Amino acid sequence: MMADIKRKVPNLRFKGFTDDWEQRKLYEVADYRNGKAHEQHIYIHGNYIVVNSKFVSTSGKAKKYSDKLIEPLMKNEIAFVLSDVPNGKALARTFLVKRSQKYTLNQRVAGITPHPNMNSYFLFILMNRNPYFLKFDDGVGQTNLSKKDVEQFNENYPTKREQQKIGEIFVKLDSLLTLQQRKLDLLKQLKKGLLQKMFAAEKNSKQPVLRFKGFHDDWEQRKFSEILAKSDGLRRGPFGSALKKEFFISSSEYTVYEQNNAIYNTWKTRYFITPEKFQELHKFQLVPGDFILSGAGTIGRIAQVPANIIKGVFNQALIRIRINPEWMDKNFFLIWMQSENMQRKLTQANPGSAMTNLVPMSEIKKWEIIIPSKAEQNKIGEFIQKLNSLINLQQRKQNHLKLLKKSLLQQMFM
C-alpha cells in the first residue's frame, strides 16, 4: 500500500478518524520475552498446549502437550516465531492467545505482551509475516531473530480507538474465513467418505456399501486392457532424444506437458516445440478427453485433458490413457482412478528401481479390476461431479475472502 506522502495515514479509514499515525518501535508499545525449552515435559496427555513454531505456522493444528505450564501465555498475548529454515513459511508468524492458563511458550518463539494503549488484534495482524522481519532471511542459512531485531521493529500506529475498529473488522473477517474453511473441509470429508463406500473393495466384495436405488448386480471383473480404447489406449511419453531440450523454443503454439500438469491439474506449460517436431511426435499428441497419469516420482496422480488442449504432447514422466467409451464413463473413470483402492494399486506398483516408477504398461493391462455397469457408472460420475462443483464453489468463496482480506490489509495499514 502506498500511503499519502505528506501525511502518515493509510488509504482507507473509518469515518471520523483524521489524525496522523505515530511511528513507534515495538519496545515502546509491547514487552518481549523468550520462550523456554519443553523437551523434558512433553506428555501426550498433558494439560497444556506447547506453542512452538509448528503450532503457530499451522494455526494451531499441529499440537504437542506439556505436563507443566513452564512459560504461561496469557489472554491477548501474541506468540511470535523467531527461527526458521531458509525461505521457510513459519518465520515471523503470529498466534493470538484467546485463553489464559492453556498455552505454554516454547523456545525459539517469543511472547509479545501489548501495552494498555495497544489493541492486541491490531498488533497481531501488523507483526504477522511483516516484510521487516522477512528481510532477515537471506535464503541461505537458518534465520534466528534476536530480541533486539524484534524490539527495533518500527511501525506507524493509530490511536487505540482506531486500532480497535480495525481489529474488529479483521476479527469478523477471520471468523468468516474460519467458517468457510470448515464448510470446505466438511465437503471434502464427505466426498472422501462417499468414495470409500461407493466403490467395491476388490478383495472382499463385488458390491459397494452404498449404491443408487435400482442397482443390485455385482460389479464385473475385467482386465484393465478391456476398458482402454482399442487403438493406442495406453502410451508412455517419449524417451531419449525425442524430447531433448535442443528441440525446445522460447514460444510457440505447440506445447509440451509434464508431470506437474497431472499432479496439480493445471495446464500451464514451460516448454514449447516447433511445428515440425510436433508433427514428428504425432503418436504422443494429446486430445481433449485423454487422461494423463503421473508415471514417475509422485505416481498415480491423474487429470483429464481439457477442451482447449489441441496442440500439446506429453513427456516421459506421463502416461496417456484413452478409454473405451463402450465400457467406461469418463467422469466415473477419473473418480475411480482417484479412489483409495486404485491409488493404492498404482502407488504399490513399483518394480524396485532407484526411481519410483509404475510397472511396465504391459503388466498394467493385465490387471484384474471390477467395474459396474455403464448406467451405474454414469450415476456415480454425475453425482461426484456435482459434489466437485460444490467443493469448487466453496473454494472460490474462500479464495475471494482471502483476496478481500489481503486488499484490506494493504489499504488499512500503512
Domain shared by 232 and 317, yes or no: yes
Domain shared by 230 and 366, yes or no: yes
User: How far is it, in rounded angstroms, from Cα 237 to Cα 281?
Assistant: 10
Is 163 part of any domain?
Answer: no
Domain shared by 30 and 152, yes or no: yes
Domain shared by 233 and 107, yes or no: no
User: How far is it, in rounded angstroms, from Cα 410 to Cα 11?
Assistant: 9
Residue 84 pLDDT > 80:
yes
**Antiparallel, parallel or unpaired: β 109-114 and 302-304:** unpaired
CB neighbourhood size of 254 (10 A): 20
Domain shared by 152 and 233, yes or no: no
Classify residue 48 by burial, with Cβ atoms within 10 Å: 0-12, 13-18, 19+: buried
Q: Sorting pLDDT into bands at 50, 70 and 90, what band is 296?
A: confident
Query: 180-200 pLDDT, tens per residue?
Result: 999 999 999 999 899 888 887
Domain shared by 145 and 243, yes or no: no
Q: Which of 106, 126, 157 is the last residue of a domain?
A: 157
Residue where the block lists cell 512459560: 71
User: What pLDDT is stored for residue 265 in this prediction?
Assistant: 85
Q: Which of 17-31, 87-101, 222-236 has the lowest mean pLDDT?
A: 222-236
Residue 371 pLDDT > 50:
yes
> How many degrees, rounded to 5, is the angle at CA 36 between CA 35 and CA 41?
130
Is 77 part of any domain?
Answer: yes
Is 384 part of any domain?
Answer: no
Domain shared by 228 and 343, yes or no: yes
Is 227 part of any domain?
Answer: yes
Q: Which of 157, 179, 204 is the last residue of a domain?
A: 157
The tally of domains found in the chain comes to: 2
Residue 73's φ and ψ, nearest 5 degrees, are -105, 135
Partners of 30 in beta bridges = 114
Query: 113-160 pLDDT, tens per residue?
Result: 999 999 999 999 999 999 999 999 999 999 999 999 999 999 999 999
Q: Sorting pLDDT into bands at 50, 70 and 90, what band is 4?
A: very low
Closest Cα to residue 143, out of 94, 79, 95, 90? Answer: 90
In the predicted model, what is the mean pLDDT of residues 386-397? 95
User: What pLDDT is stored for residue 237 in this prediction?
Assistant: 85
User: How far is it, in rounded angstroms, from Cα 195 to Cα 197?
Assistant: 5
Q: Sorting pLDDT into bands at 50, 70 and 90, what band is 163?
A: very high
Residues 6+ apart with CB under 8 A from 391: 184, 187, 188, 191
Residue 33 pLDDT > 70:
yes
Is 112 part of any domain?
Answer: yes
Residue 1 pLDDT > 50:
no
- Mean pLDDT estimate for the chain: 89
Is 405 part of any domain?
Answer: no
Residues 6+ apart with CB under 8 A from 156: 8, 21, 22, 23, 24, 414
User: How far is it, in rounded angstroms, from Cα 20 to Cα 410?
Assistant: 17
User: What pLDDT is stored for residue 269 in this prediction?
Assistant: 82
User: What pLDDT is stored for residue 242 in this prediction?
Assistant: 53
User: How far is it, in rounded angstroms, from Cα 285 to Cα 407?
Assistant: 42
User: How far is it, in rounded angstroms, from Cα 5 to Cα 31?
Assistant: 31
Is 271 part of any domain?
Answer: yes
Residue where the block lists cell 454425475: 382
Q: Give residue 131's domain range.
A: 22-157
Domain shared by 101 and 243, yes or no: no
Residue 323 CA to chain centroid, in angstroms? Answer: 30
Q: Sorting pLDDT into bands at 50, 70 and 90, what band is 92?
A: very high
Domain shared by 243 and 143, yes or no: no
Q: Residue 327: give its domain's CATH number.
A: 3.90.220.20
User: What pLDDT is stored for residue 238 in this prediction?
Assistant: 82
Residue 7 pLDDT > 80:
no
Is 399 part of any domain?
Answer: no
Domain shared by 367 and 230, yes or no: yes
Classify residue 151 by burial, with Cβ atoms within 10 Å: 0-12, 13-18, 19+: middle
User: How far is it, in rounded angstroms, from Cα 48 to Cα 71?
Assistant: 10
Q: Sorting pLDDT into bands at 50, 70 and 90, what band is 350?
A: low
The beta strands (E) that lie in 62-133 are given as: 65-66, 72-73, 78-81, 83-84, 94-96, 103-105, 109-114
Residue 368 pLDDT > 90:
no
In the predicted model, what is the mean pLDDT of residues 353-359? 54
Residue 86 pLDDT > 50:
yes
User: How far is it, in rounded angstroms, from Cα 71 to Cα 211?
Assistant: 54
Residue 351 pLDDT > 60:
no
User: What pLDDT is stored for residue 361 in this prediction?
Assistant: 78
Judge contact between 365 and 224, C-beta under 8 A: yes
Residue 243 pLDDT > 70:
no
Judge contact between 171 and 109, C-beta under 8 A: no
Residue where the block lists cell 511501525: 155
Q: Sorting pLDDT into bands at 50, 70 and 90, what band is 355?
A: very low
Judge contact between 370 and 203, C-beta under 8 A: no
Domain shared by 152 and 284, yes or no: no
User: How far is it, in rounded angstroms, from Cα 225 to Cα 99?
Assistant: 60
